[in-house]
């Protein structure tokens, strides 16, 4: 099982988020828009990270959008669906 801190570190490293520390990100912060401010390119990179690191595969981007709500929601999803 991964923790929200594990995921925050993976996001920062995998998406090369500069000048952000895991402690700067609240568990319920949105990943896109007003939260971390990720964009559509980041979403594609995030899908690749999740597939490579955790074996998570989404049927389509609509499914991914429901999971990319916050760090906590994504962490819970990974813990329920990871194959690696």
Cα angle: 10, vertex 14, 15; to 5 degrees: 115
Q: Give the pLDDT of residue 41.
A: 92
Q: Give the pLDDT of residue 84.
A: 82
Domain boundaries, the chain: 4-81
Class of domain 4-81: mainly alpha
User: Has residue 63 got a pLDDT over 90?
Assistant: no
User: Has residue 8 got a pLDDT over 90?
Assistant: yes
Q: Give the pLDDT of residue 76.
A: 97
Tens-digit pLDDT profile for residues 15-61: 999 899 999 999 999 999 888 889 989 999 999 999 999 999 988 88
Question: Using CA atoms, how far apart are residues 78 and 84, in angstroms rounded to an integer?
Answer: 10
């Amino acid at each position: 099982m991964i923790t929200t801190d594990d995921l925050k570190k993976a996001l920062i490293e995998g998406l090369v988020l500069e000048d952000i520390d895991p402690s700067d990100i609240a568990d319920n912060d949105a990943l896109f828009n007003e939260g971390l401010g990720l964009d559509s390119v980041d979403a594609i990179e995030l899908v690749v990270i999740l597939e490579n690191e955790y074996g998570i595969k989404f049927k389509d981007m609509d499914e991914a959008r429901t999971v990319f709500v916050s760090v906590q929601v994504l962490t819970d999803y990974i813990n329920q669906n990871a194959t690696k």
